[in-house]
C-alpha cells in the first residue's frame, strides 16, 4: 500500500476525529486498555504510516505488502486491530501496529512526505545531491527522501520522465533530476485521484504493461537497484544515464 492509498483511508475516517474509541480488539500485541475511551485527536499519514493520534500516544499502522482494511465490514479472518468509533467499525488486517510514545511532530519530517502540504522538493534535491551513486529507482523508494512512494509510483515516474531504471542519480542532467522530484509528487496525486475513481490500473503506462504506448515495442521487466524491485520499462524511450 503506497502513500496515496493511506490518504484515501484518512479521508474515509475523517468523521472519527474528536470521537472516543468505544470498543477495541484484535490479535496485535498491544495494550488495548490505553485505547478504550481514548479520544482520537488527529488522523494523519506520513508516507506509508497511518497515524491515529491520541493525547500522550499515537497508534501507527503500517500495511506493508499485504495489509488491508474494512470499514463496517469484516473479512473471514481475525483482524490485527479492530476499533469501534464514531458509529463505525474499522478493521485492520495483516498490518504492523505499534504505539508511538513521542508526538508525531518529533518523529516525522513532514517535508519529505510526497503527499504532504509541507512537501519540500528543494530538500529532496539536496539529499539526492549527496547520493550520486544511488540508483534512481532506489532513490524513489527511499522513504527518508520520498516518503509514500512505492514500487508502482517508482515505475510510472521513471516511465513518465523517460529515465531507464538502471540509471544513477549523479548522472542525471540537473533538469532530469528536477523532473524526477516533481513527478514523484505529481504522479502520487494522479494515483490518489485515479484510485478514488477506481481507474488506477487503467492509467498504468509501464507497470505490468506489455507494450510501450510511445514506441510500440515490448516493455521489459527487470529487478533493478540494490533493492532488486521490479521495474517495467521501455528500452527504447527510457534513457540510461550512467
Partner DNA sequence: CCGGTTGTTCAGCG
Partner DNA sequence: GCGCTGAACAACCG
Interaction site with DNA (CB under 7 A): 1-2, 5, 47-48, 62, 64-66, 68, 75, 77, 93-94, 141, 143, 150-152, 226, 229-230
What is each CA distance from 39 to 3, 42, 87, 240, in whole angstroms? 25, 9, 14, 52
Q: In whole angstroms, how close is the CB of 217 to DNA at the nearest point?
A: 21
SS3 label, residue 135: strand
The three grid cell numbers given for residue 40, joined into one nine-digit string: 482520537
State which residue, 62 or 209, has the beta carbon closest to DNA. 62
State which residue, 155 or 167, has the beta carbon closest to DNA. 155
Q: In whole angstroms, how close is the CB of 126 to DNA at the nearest point?
A: 20
Pairing type for strands 68-71 and 88-93 reads: antiparallel
State which residue, 64 or 239, has the beta carbon closest to DNA. 64
State which residue, 75 or 193, has the beta carbon closest to DNA. 75
Q: In whole angstroms, how close is the CB of 95 to DNA at the nearest point?
A: 8
**Residue 13: CA count within 13 A, CB half-sphere:** 33
Q: In whole angstroms, how close is the CB of 222 to DNA at the nearest point?
A: 10
Q: In whole angstroms, how close is the CB of 143 to DNA at the nearest point?
A: 5
Contacts of 184 (CB under 8 A, 6+ apart): 114, 124, 140, 146, 149, 153, 157
State which residue, 131 or 237, has the beta carbon closest to DNA. 131
Angle (CA) 195-134-156 rounded to 5° is 20
State which residue, 34 or 70, has the beta carbon closest to DNA. 70
Q: In whole angstroms, how close is the CB of 111 to DNA at the nearest point?
A: 17
User: Do 172 and 136 form a contact (C-beta atoms < 8 A)?
Assistant: yes
* CA–CA separation, 178 and 176 (whole Å): 5
Amino acid at each position: 500500500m503506497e502513500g496515496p492509498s493511506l490518504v484515501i483511508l484518512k479521508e474515509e475516517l475523517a468523521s472519527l476525529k474528536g470521537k472516543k474509541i468505544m470498543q477495541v480488539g484484535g490479535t496485535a500485541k498491544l495494550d488495548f486498555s490505553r485505547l478504550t475511551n481514548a479520544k482520537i485527536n488527529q488522523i494523519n499519514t506520513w508516507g506509508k504510516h497511518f497515524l491515529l493520534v491520541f493525547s500522550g500516544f499515537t497508534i501507527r499502522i503500517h500495511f506493508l505488502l499485504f495489509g488491508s482494511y474494512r470499514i463496517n465490514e469484516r473479512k473471514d479472518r481475525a483482524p490485527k486491530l479492530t476499533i469501534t468509533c464514531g458509529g463505525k467499525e474499522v478493521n485492520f488486517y495483516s498490518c504492523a501496529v505499534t504505539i508511538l510514545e513521542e508526538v508525531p511532530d518529533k518523529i516525522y519530517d513532514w517535508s519529505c512526505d510526497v503527499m504532504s502540504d509541507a512537501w519540500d522538493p528543494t530538500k529532496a534535491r539536496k539529499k539526492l545531491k549527496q547520493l550520486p551513486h544511488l540508483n534512481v529507482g532506489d532513490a524513489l523508494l527511499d522513504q527518508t527522501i520520498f516518503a509514500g512512494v512505492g514500487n508502482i509510483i517508482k515505475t510510472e515516474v521513471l516511465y513518465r520522465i523517460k529515465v531507464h531504471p538502471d540509471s544513477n542519480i549523479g548522472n542525471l542532467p540537473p533538469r532530469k533530476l528536477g523532473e524526477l522530484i516533481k513527478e514523484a509528487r505529481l504522479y502520487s496525486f494522479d494515483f490518489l485521484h485515479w484510485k478514488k475513481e477506481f481507474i488506477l490500473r487503467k492509467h498504468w503506462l509501464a507497470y505490468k504493461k506489455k507494450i510501450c504506448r510511445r514506441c510500440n515495442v515490448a516493455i521489459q521487466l527487470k529487478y533493478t537497484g540494490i533493492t532488486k524491485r521490479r521495474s517495467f520499462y521501455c528500452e527504447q524511450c527510457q534513457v540510461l544515464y550512467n
